[in-house]
A and B are shown apart, each in its own frame.
Chain A
Amino acid sequence: MPSPLTHDDPVALGPYRLLARLGSGGMGTVYLGRTARGRTVALKTMHARIAADPDSRTRFRLEVDAARVIGGRYGAQVVDADPHAETPWLATEYVFGPPLDDAVQWNGPLPEASVRALGAALANALGQLHHSDVVHRDLKPSNIMVTAYGPKVIDFGIARAIGDARLTRTGAAVGTPAFMSPEQATGQEHDAAGDVFALAGVLVFAATGHGPFGQGQPADLLYRVRYGEPDLGDVPPALTPLLARCLAKDPGLRPTTSEIASQLHDGSGEFADHLPDAVLSEIGRRASEVWAVTAQRMAAPTEGSPPPAPAEGSRPPAPAKPTPVSRRRLFALGGGVAAGVAAAAGGFWYWRDQSGAGAGPGGQGEYADNGASAKRTTGLAPLWKVSDRNRQHELGPLVPHPVPGTVLMDQGGLAGLAPRTGAAKWGVISGAGSWQYAVANGKVYRIEEPNPDVDQKHPPLAIHSVNSDSGGTLATVARLSDSNGSLRGNQLLCVADEVLYLAVGDGADPPSGAGEFRASQKWTLRAVDGRTGKTLWTRPLPSRRNDSNRLHFLAARVVGNRLITLQEREEGAVRVVLHNTRTGAVSWEAPYSVDDPETVREGISADTSHVYLGAGQLRALRLSDGRQVWSSRPTHGYGETYSPPTLKSGVLYAVVDGAGLVAVDPRSGKQRWAEKSDTPGNAFVTCRPVIGARFAYYKNGVTLRAVSLASHTAARTYVTSGEQFFGDEQNGIVIAVANNYVAAYPLA
């Protein structure tokens, strides 16, 4: 599904203006692009930082070559390419058609006639490749687009490159062993006959919904591929003999591609005649939907080049996302401290929402489903909405910290809101962005914002405990040596067992008007005893370039004796880094490929044994050593992107691009259920779902959807333009943070 560009997407690649994102994965992003005369193409790119590696760039070039060899009949017609650009790109026709895995997942196994037509065309496609001395080596359902005129094979090199990188890093197997040949599984030469084996696996999947060797752990699958008998039990009987031959362990016994094509299909009729209605309908939908795309880009920070004005759409951009705004916006009002004071003097206000049905959210304490909203189940209004004109968060986003009876918010400084009305309980404490306070066991801690008029030049960083009912300071917990308390990049990461974890800077203040970081500053990760104020350990952090505004950490939490952090070691590159809470030593670290680091700010999902990652693939890493235990299949160009996950009561929940909410078994990674919906809509994967006792909440289009955990259908929807959603179980609300307001919805 096309989605708006983000502020740091390029404006153009070669002669193509970018219009929208079609999908993205760890290696690159696929865009919809258009020439000045209106030719519209799909643009596949490789991230510049990955293309900096010569091997990766070579792979990209090979992919371009392979795409040219396969041509427009059995692949996406190559229009243009520049593999030498800083961000290498490949322009192809925009292919309408669901990938085969989606087609089967949504519509069920395909009828025999479809499988035959598909198989014959794929055999011809492979024949053409082999004739040109190209072996695909990675044929699988997600790499095959089902169009009205036949299947098109996409993704030659990049998916494989992803697999290889993972192979060397964690020792796990390449992406989808389910479709691998036995010779490939044993590391031997996979030639044309290997593609035939994979083709048979794809056809078994199309006919039955599962691969010939089932599902499971990669190691088990690889074993079955090498030694096990394929499971052809559900395959239409007439297809079994041919597919069994294709799946022979000995490559020499497998039929040729031309024999397969002639055995499967006599070429009668048109390809579309053999497709089920649901697949045809999906193809038609995609062919029409692309004409409704208008160029949209999430708002950019004021630095850098301004985004192009949105194209004058020839139709109203009605169903599109309300242009989501980057949470990395720059503070527009000038010096941080001064504005904090301004905010304290009444710079934000709140109103009762009047757009809802009837009397709206009712007055006193009526914050569960009230009468008005109980009758309606769609388009419901929020409980309350607080406008926020002075929000300033050039460094971090607005993350609410709930305690019982109060929601602590950054409102140009620390503010406490009443959970039932959104009214301010006390005036804003100047300074203190969301990253500078933390809550543990109902106790609130914050980094003190020095007063430049009163304090010395480089005051040591001080941490206070705060009364959440009044906002008043209870005590000074610690003052840190070798620190500069006026640096706004200081972070209070989290508090556990009375130990505070902080990112602490020392050195010169940034010049006025510049970014917050200087290369000369020294930064450390520290653990501080909240009872004694003593520093327990200190670990160095890399320095930031001058004028950087990137905080060191996106999120952190403690599980047992491990401090799990999402660290932005280099700008834009997130790593999961685990520290021992007693010594600070790094236990392990692993890259976390996310397109936009902001999307993982909301928190970390972990249990006592694993940490769960999303923002692309859904993955589980073992806490003990960082090994990947399972993962969803690698993301490819089109869809299948997961939001960061939320773990709740032993179930992992995430939002899937183009589909909606899914519940996954955290042990195996197997899907337990998926949202049942006639209107998949436009699921946002940029924020994780919020899980209540009965409903799961996530953003879809312009609504917050509440999906029943019992029936798996959307029970109600709330109108929202929120960008981030946070669950506040203690106060029973879902908190939405939007571009210019904060709102609350009932959490049930």
Chain B
Amino acid sequence: MAKKNAANGAAAATGRVGAKRPSDERTLGRLVDLGTKVSTESVAGSDPFVDIPTRALSNTNWNAKRRILEMGDASQRRNLFNLGQARKFMQTLLIASGCKELIEQGKTLSLRSMYYKSLHTIAGTKEKTFADQEESDPIIEDLEVALGSLREELHVFASERGKVVGNLTIIDNGDEIDLRRMGTGGYAIPSIVEPSVIKFGKCEAKFILHVEKGTVWARFNEDRFWQKHGCILTEGGGQPPRGVRRLLRRMHDELGLPVYCLLDCDPWGHYIYSVIKQGSMNLAFESERMAIPDAKFIGIRASDYERYGLTDDVQIALSDRDTGRAKQIAEYPWFAGKKEWQREIQTLLRNGFKMEVESLITKGISFVTETYVPQKLAQKDWLD
């Protein structure tokens, strides 16, 4: 927060790109339209409402041609004069007016700060506008889909997660950052990575390697993998947040770099890959800007256990929940038509155990960076 505000303050002085964004005008217009619509309906004596596109599997369509998940047309009408919806209706408008204020002032707030911004006790009652952040986060997402404006366009961001190093220079809010000189810590990927904030500089990378979590990323960074192989190395702290996904997509699109994913051999790893590749169900409306349909899955593969002669020690038994999730993933339409993926999941289920990327450590500390990944890349041994 403090960092952001300081940056914004500096922006005004230095003429750098501030929190003002090209999308602001459009977003403001949509917010005003929402207020006008509700006002007009109220004055006309009808029950005011906001239509909110449904964010669920039932309203998620697999666009096989574009190879991304798209949001369907289903939406839920949120009325004021419906006891079950009145509170949420009030919250939606409250958040909307809060966002308008942010945009007008050219400032951004985190999800948590946004919760505090909209939090107060309703006059004459003991009721709070929001009970906790759990209640405000979904309202912000509702507003995003209802307006068709992204969270960052509303000047709200999530807490940061994920790092990057590699053969690339970026300009973050006017500051040039050489990702080749980030030491052991790496560059923390901000929540908002839109071109207004982050621009790309000199790039010498040939591909992007995305790994699941920080520990594996640290191994690759210490071994200077990105330097040896001329690539960009990212991690997303598990399920990558929007900033990481958006950055991956931008690097893929704008720098023309292929994306390879190194994830755990379990249903959760598979789903991370799925989200990077074709988008998530919850944010299907953002797939267009986030999904990387050409991303490849290089491992860990269920067959690697035999192929690399791993020992029993690395096995982690599949729980019932894992098994159920694996079967569920196999049935997603975007996996259903892929024989190789069906085989992969079948092997996983037949094995009855999962494996983490770290299991390769048993073959040697740098086995994964020196042998496993280079081999896979050389052999083009990946799943699509």
Check if A and B associate. no
B residues bordering A, Cβ < 8 Å? none
